[in-house]
Amino acid sequence: MRVVTTLPSATEIVAALGLEPVGVSHECDFPPEVESLPSVTRSRIESAASSGEIDRQVLETTADEDGVYEVDVATLERLDPDLIVTQGMCDVCAVDEAVVADAVAEIDADPEVLTTDPHSVEDVLADVDRIGAATGREERAREVRTELEERIAAVRDRTAGLGLESEDRPRVAIFDWTDPAMIAGHWTAELVEWAGGEYGLADPGERSRPREWDEIRDYDPEVVIVAPCGFDLEQTAANRTDLTEREGWADLTAVREGRVWAMDGDHYLNRPGPRLVDTLEAVAPIVQPGPGDVGPPTEVAIPFDELAELESRTLAPTDSRGE
């Protein structure tokens, strides 16, 4: 089957099912071999800009009805897909179903279009089943889902074994954008609860949205995770002052107690595919560190204070040999 995916999470699900798409989005980068596949999408946003500048560009493109993304119709037609996997959750995060529908109307092929719209962990697991059924990989989909569910259960069992009372659950805030400040929604509340925290700024399934800074200060999180959508750790480092220069940042309990972390929001928290379980496994030792815990893998999350050093290494000049 000739499958085209228009968002990274769909590409990861398809790969987990043992298939290689014939075409992917410009943002797809995992597993690494998909980066060499034809790209069927492009963005009108300068992704290397600051968080505030990206927000401005997004507002401008949506206001003039151009949209953030476009489909390369010529490439799509050449790939002649049987199935296109797209999304309807957010027209800022990735190419959405409306843009794909317009592109399909321009080509000779008549592919099935499968739209994902996850807002919970169960929705993500259900997408594994749906894509498995659409590609004839039902058995493999069941295996993938079972493995993910077992890993989720292991984290939840660890939390249950702690015998937590309500006062033992720290107040957690996870930012999925920094200018403006946005609190992560969708599946995030579930992940925090399963990890042993309280997520009082958003309900399960609620969309991410901008928040007044005073609301966040009043909540006074005891644990903060900064995971901007589309940003890896290096880009988060470059934008860290969006938060650190805000009035009252240094007074937050999480900051005073050194419980602020930066997470790769691009590959983990904001990518609703199999690695959402990796996100849960990384959040758990941040929220409820146990004896002997070494914390999450450094490619996933690092202490926020280490971002300045990361930025300095990233920006350090090199000599003619690249050293």
Mean of the pLDDT values across residues 24-44? 95
Q: At 281, is the secondary structure helix, strand, or coil? A: helix
What pLDDT score does 44 carry? 82
Give a yes or no: residue 204 inside a domain: yes
Of the three residues 142, 157, 178, the one that is the final residue of a domain is 142
Which of residues 68 and 227 earns the better pLDDT score?
227
Residue pLDDT, tens place only, 201-220: 999 999 999 999 999 999 99
Give a yes or no: residue 226 inside a domain: yes
Q: How many domains does the chain have?
A: 2
What pLDDT score does 295 carry? 86
Clarify whether residues 203 and 101 are in a common domain: no
Clarify whether residues 128 and 258 are in a common domain: no
Of the three residues 74, 108, 142, the one that is the final residue of a domain is 142
What pLDDT score does 282 carry? 97
Q: Using pLDDT thresholds of 50, 70 and 90, give the confidence band for residue 163.
A: very high
Clarify whether residues 134 and 221 are in a common domain: no
Mean of the pLDDT values across residues 111-137? 97
Nearest to 279 by CA among 260, 299, 256: 299
Which of residues 106 and 65 earns the better pLDDT score?
106
Which of residues 169 and 61 earns the better pLDDT score?
169
What pLDDT score does 66 carry? 66
Clarify whether residues 113 and 190 are in a common domain: no
Give a yes or no: residue 150 inside a domain: no
Clarify whether residues 125 and 197 are in a common domain: no
- The Cα angle at residue 53 between residues 221 and 91, in degrees rounded to 5: 80
What pLDDT score does 182 carry? 97
Clarify whether residues 259 and 298 are in a common domain: yes
Which of residues 55 and 139 earns the better pLDDT score?
139
Clarify whether residues 55 and 122 are in a common domain: yes
Nearest to 45 by CA among 88, 102, 95: 95
What's the mean pLDDT when you consider all of the chain?
Answer: 92
The answer on pLDDT for 22 being more than 60 is yes
Nearest to 79 by CA among 30, 29, 38, 36: 38
Contact between 25 and 79 under an 8 Å Cβ cutoff? The reply is no
Of the three residues 106, 127, 142, the one that is the final residue of a domain is 142
Domain harbouring 265, CATH code: 3.40.50.1980
Clarify whether residues 108 and 245 are in a common domain: no
Give a yes or no: residue 255 inside a domain: yes
How many Cα atoms are found within 13 Å in the side-chain-facing hemisphere of 305? 7
Give, as one character, the DSSP assignment of residue 267.
I
Clarify whether residues 114 and 193 are in a common domain: no
Give the count of beta carbons closer than 10 Å to the beta carbon of residue 213.
15
Mean of the pLDDT values across residues 86-106? 79
What pLDDT score does 321 carry? 31
Provide the residue range defining the domain that includes 262.
Answer: 168-313
Q: Tokens 């893998």 map to which residue?
A: 297
Give a yes or no: residue 151 inside a domain: no
Cα–Cα dist 33/172, whole Å: 36
What pLDDT score does 73 carry? 96
Contact between 39 and 79 under an 8 Å Cβ cutoff? The reply is no
The answer on pLDDT for 93 being more than 80 is no
Clarify whether residues 173 and 309 are in a common domain: yes
Contact between 75 and 59 under an 8 Å Cβ cutoff? The reply is no
Which residues make beta-bridge pairs with 116?
87
Residue partners of 6: CB distance under 8 A and separation at least 6: 24, 25, 40, 41, 71, 84, 85, 86, 87, 94, 95, 100
Cα–Cα dist 96/88, whole Å: 5
Which residues make beta-bridge pairs with 221?
none
Give, as one character, the DSSP assignment of residue 251.
G
Own/partner contacts of 89-93, CB < 8 Å, gap of 24 or more, are 89/116, 89/117, 89/118, 89/119, 89/186, 89/272, 91/62, 91/67, 92/58, 92/62, 92/68, 93/7, 93/229, 93/230, 93/270
Residue pLDDT, tens place only, 43-87: 888 888 999 998 888 888 776 666 788 999 999 999 999 999 998
Max avg pLDDT among 86-95, 266-275, 313-322: 266-275
Give a yes or no: residue 258 inside a domain: yes
H or E stretch at 172:
strand 172-178
CA distances from 190 to 103, 199, 202, 226 (A): 35, 9, 10, 17
Query: In angstroms, what is the C-alpha Rg of the chain?
Result: 20
Cα–Cα dist 50/71, whole Å: 25
Give a yes or no: residue 155 inside a domain: no
What pLDDT score does 323 carry? 30
With pLDDT > 90 as the criterion, what percentage of the chain qualifies?
80
Phi, psi of 315 (to 5 degrees): -95, -5
The answer on pLDDT for 314 being more than 70 is no
Clarify whether residues 207 and 307 are in a common domain: yes
Residue pLDDT, tens place only, 238-293: 999 999 999 999 999 999 999 999 999 999 999 999 999 999 999 999 999 988 77
The answer on pLDDT for 139 being more than 70 is yes
Give a yes or no: residue 75 inside a domain: yes
Clarify whether residues 215 and 252 are in a common domain: yes
